[in-house]
């Protein structure tokens, strides 16, 4: 999943330890794993479960602005780059609206590959949401690689001109526009939940797919667990609900599932 993708970036390889630990725990607990198997609503219902927990994650949110040209392939996601699904361009603009680890990681990754990189954000500076302890490590890595870091600029649109891409940027405060002529535009705009299976199962579930948020925050059992009825209970966690970081997604699962 996303942890495996994140671990491919410079300075983040050790995050793969999270996945390795879970693999060991699943083996110890003798959990029935069915890998390489796409699940849909019919497949899940055929198993006649008592409880369904969806942790199917999400997808890169490239469709927020149609003028970025994701449908035409004018921009790619940070996942595409880190997973090796696209070949890095020689001159790359990374646009990061989230300002956490992923955008900085992909910029550092591309610079390591010898790309000329500019990372642009509509926030005050790239990586601002990472925190004061971690973001200096990225800056120390990226400045010697001559990564250009630009704040206060939003990506308005991308269009093709010959064999190049033109990224139109707009200053958040003055409205002044600038253009960058590049080979590749990478957009890090967070994650949109993959909700199709959830909505396919929701109406048939006893609890209509609802989590009691007060009970979850209080680390108490879900009331629906003790309520009588036939059929299955349905819950969703992590990026399947909304964008989460790793810690929040793990705590989602722990708080919900410890009482099953």
Q: What is the pTM of this model?
A: 0.89
Work out the average pLDDT over 170-192. Answer: 97
Burial class of residue 46 (count of CB atoms within 10 Å of its CB; 0-12, 13-18, 19+):
exposed
| Confidence check: pLDDT of 68 > 80 | yes
Residue length of the chain = 260
Domain ranges of the chain: 34-59+193-257, 62-189
Work out the average pLDDT over 116-122. Answer: 98
240 Cβ neighbours under 8 A, 6+ residues apart: 54, 55, 56, 57, 58, 193, 194, 195, 198
* Strand (E) or helix (H) holding 59: strand 58-60
Identify the pLDDT of residue 13: 80
Identify the pLDDT of residue 10: 84
13-19: long-range contacts, CB 8 A cutoff, minimum separation 24: 15/246, 18/246
Work out the average pLDDT over 77-93. Answer: 96
With residues binned 3-state (H G I as helix, E B as strand, rest as coil), the percentages for the chain, rounded to 5, are 35, 20, 45
Identify the pLDDT of residue 211: 96
| Confidence check: pLDDT of 195 > 80 | yes
Identify the pLDDT of residue 251: 92
CATH architecture of 62-189: 3-Layer(bba) Sandwich (3.50)
Segment 2-61, tens digit of pLDDT: 888 888 888 888 888 898 999 999 999 999 998 888 889 999 999 999 999 999 999 999
Identify the pLDDT of residue 220: 95
Contact 9, 134 (CB under 8 A): no
Pairing relation of β-strands 164-171 and 153-161? antiparallel
Assign 199 a pLDDT band (cuts: 50, 70, 90): very high
């Amino acid at each position: 999943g996303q942890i495996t993708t994140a671990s491919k970036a410079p300075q983040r390889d050790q995050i793969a330890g999270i996945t390795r630990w879970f693999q060991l725990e699943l083996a110890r607990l003798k959990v029935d794993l069915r890998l390489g198997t796409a699940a849909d609503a019919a497949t899940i219902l055929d198993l006649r479960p008592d409880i369904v927990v969806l942790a199917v994650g999400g997808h890169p949110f490239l469709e927020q602005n149609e003028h970025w040209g994701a449908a035409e392939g004018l921009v790619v996601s940070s996942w595409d780059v880190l997973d090796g699904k696209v070949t890095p361009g020689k001159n790359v603009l990374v646009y990061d609206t989230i300002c956490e680890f992923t955008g900085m990681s992909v910029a550092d990754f591309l610079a390591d590959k010898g790309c000329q990189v500019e990372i642009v954000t509509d926030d005050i500076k790239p990586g601002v949401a990472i925190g004061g302890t971690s973001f200096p490590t990225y800056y120390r890595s990226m400045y010697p690689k001559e990564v250009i870091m630009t704040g206060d600029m939003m990506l308005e649109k991308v269009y093709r001109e010959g064999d190049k891409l033109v990224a139109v940027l707009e200053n958040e405060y003055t409205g002044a526009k600038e253009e960058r002529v590049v080979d590749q535009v990478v957009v890090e705009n967070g994650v949109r939940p993959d909700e199709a299976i959830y909505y396919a199962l929701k109406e048939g579930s006893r609890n209509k797919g609802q989590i009691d948020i007060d009970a979850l925050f209080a680390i108490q059992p879900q009331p629906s667990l003790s309520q009588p009825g036939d059929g299955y209970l349905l819950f969703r966690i992590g990026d399947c609900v909304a964008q989460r970081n790793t810690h929040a997604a793990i705590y989602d699962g722990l708080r919900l599932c410890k009482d099953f």
